[in-house]
Structure 1
Amino acid sequence: MNECKIVAVLNRKGGVCKTTTTHNLGVALVQRGYRVLLVDCDTQRNLSISLGLNRPDEECYTLCELLQPLIDVEVDEVDIQNCIHHLENGVDFIPNKQALSTVEKQISTLDFRRECILFDALEDVRLDYDYILLDCMASLGMLAVNVMMACDTVLLVSTPEEDSIEGLELASDFIQEAARALRKEIPVCGVLICRVDMRYRKSRSGVERIRQLFVPQYPIYQEMIPDRVCVADARNKQVSIIEYAPESEAARAYQVVCDSFVKEVEYHGIHTA
């Protein structure tokens, strides 16, 4: 791989497996020898919790402390290396605090380069990683604009439920609006459908609806993540399904998706919204 790819994992709706996908894709990429950094960009802190950081203490540096000096020149600069947590499985991650919502409001008050805060914050570590995955918030405010500016491509994630599909459409619209406003291409490296049970008509119709909406605009990953109890069990244990139950159908599905994802990003090109 020649250069780092920053990938935003996005849907306008919460609870649609964005965090689960970010976590498992990160683990799968590390298992393939890639250097991976996960960044919790959601005020709900779901990724931080999934990775075992339930309540960061006051001395724990997070994304909030990393961004603050770029917003307020009177705040002491924080070395990004002090914000990075190194997990035993080889994944690195930058956690988050609920104070990120306050940071987002502060970003909105800036007059210049307010859309570039996250881009600037990550610039120093681009050479250290092959992939940086950004677990995105459902709300599409100033922080989401920063994510669009920082990322090289977007992975859209959805379940077959109608509200998730609606969130997918809103996310696609947002990508196009952000691309125009920021004057940059924001490619989409695919749509991953999660929590699928093809035994049920509602699930089958939801999958078909996604294909009708987004083919051929975006690639739809052929492998889908099945709806299995073990995925929730792994999340409750704060580990990836790949580590918790490596032989499970869901773990195998994420491994297949990882290979497809790498091919899409590195070899097949990426698709403009």
Structure 2
Amino acid sequence: MKSTVVAVINQKGGTGKTTTTINLGSALQKLGKKVLLVDLDPQSNLSYSLAVPAANGTLADVFLGTKKIKEILVEKDGLWVAPGSNDLVDIEISLVGEAQRETFLKSILSEAKGFDYVLVDCPPSLSVLTLNALTAANEVLIPLQMEVLTLQGLDQITKTVERVKKAFNSKLKIKGIVVVMFDMRRKLSLEVLQYLKENVEERIFNSQIRLNVKLAEAPSFGKSILDYDASSNGAKDYKALAEEFLAVS
């Protein structure tokens, strides 16, 4: 079975990238898919949010060649996680001088067998680690808040994806845009969403992730929203997103 690798990217921090990686992954798992989450962000927010220990090493060790990815994987609530660490900062610096520096993660993930989906939580920058994720990925998922500055950021992301597609990964495609932290009461949110629908070619998922207190609470308990409070709006929204995600090509 060949895994579908999905790079979850946004070059800004605090945009719901990690939240989307965790909770979309959890929702896919509950729909019967075997899912691996890869914490490629040196801040390791994904690993922290799921309270995943790194007793057998982290992704940085795999990049260094001292561990295989199978050795570091941790199982948590039905999900598998490749933990990140702050050491990825040093990895990023060292990769800059390497030949074929864009393909390290692709090689690493080729040894992660048996997963339906591999979701990669990328750093909040269009860096060499993000470039690795895009080179390894089949699809790109872009979580976006409905703010004016996100329009500029989206343009940068799509241009980067096109450059990677031409240079390293001809099969790469943007799966779609996920509207996150959505507040229908805000006029600006509705205006930005309408602008996107009228001016952006990429798919915008119908399943929007509403602002939800429970979503913010879940990491404090080391759980996805579906394991923390399955009746919350956050859980309902990510379940709907997962169903739509599976339904579209």
User: Normalised by the size of structure 2, how large is the TM-score?
Assistant: 0.95
Query: Residues 93-242 of structure 1 correspond to what in structure 2 (within 5 A)?
Result: 93-111=81-99, 113-125=100-112, 127-182=113-168, 184-214=170-200, 217-242=201-226
Shift of 1:90: 0.6
The whole-number CA distance in structure 1 between the counterparts of 2:176 and 2:116 is: 19
Query: Residues 49-68 of structure 1 correspond to what in structure 2 (within 5 A)?
Result: 49-53=48-52, 56=54, 60-68=56-64
Identity %: 30
Contact conserved, 1:160 with 1:206, CA < 8 A, in 2?
yes
Residue-by-residue CA offset, 1:137-163 (whole Å, 9 max, x unaligned): 121121111111100110111111223
Contact conserved, 1:7 with 1:152, CA < 8 A, in 2?
yes
Tell me the SS of whatever aligns to 2:12: coil
Q: Find 2:67's aligned residue among 58, 72, 78.
A: 78
CA RMSD, aligned part only? Answer: 1.5
Residue-by-residue CA offset, 1:212-246 (whole Å, 9 max, x unaligned): 332xx211111101112111111332211112221
Residue-by-residue CA offset, 1:108-134 (whole Å, 9 max, x unaligned): 1112x2211000011111x31000000
Shift of 1:17: 0.5
Partner of 2:13: 14
Partner of 2:34: 35
Contact conserved, 1:37 with 1:131, CA < 8 A, in 2?
yes
Moved over 4 A (4+): none
Residue-by-residue CA offset, 1:47-83 (whole Å, 9 max, x unaligned): 11111147x4xx54110000112xxxxxxx4222211
Tell me the SS of whatever aligns to 2:165: helix
State whether structure 2 residue 245 is matched by structure 1 residue 261. yes
Structure 2 unaligned residues grouped into runs of 5+: none
Tell me the SS of whatever aligns to 2:110: helix
The whole-number CA distance in structure 2 between the counterparts of 1:263 and 1:155 is: 15
Q: Give the aligned residue type for 2:229.
A: A
Distance 1:207 1:60, change over 3 A: same
Q: Give the aligned residue type for 2:92.
A: E
Q: Give the aligned residue type for 1:46.
A: N
Q: Give the aligned residue type for 2:74.
A: H
Residue-by-residue CA offset, 1:153-203 (whole Å, 9 max, x unaligned): 101111112233332221111111111222513201111001111111011
Contact conserved, 2:10 with 2:125, CA < 8 A, in 1?
no
Contact conserved, 1:159 with 1:165, CA < 8 A, in 2?
no
Contact conserved, 1:6 with 1:153, CA < 8 A, in 2?
yes
Q: Give the aligned residue type for 1:234.
A: A
Q: Give the aligned residue type for 1:98.
A: N
The whole-number CA distance in structure 1 between the counterparts of 2:2 and 2:169 is: 22
The whole-number CA distance in structure 1 between the counterparts of 2:46 and 2:199 is: 29
User: Normalised by the size of structure 1, how large is the TM-score?
Assistant: 0.87
Q: Give the aligned residue type for 1:239.
A: K
Distance 1:241 1:212, change over 3 A: same
Contact conserved, 1:226 with 1:250, CA < 8 A, in 2?
yes
Tell me the SS of whatever aligns to 2:218: helix
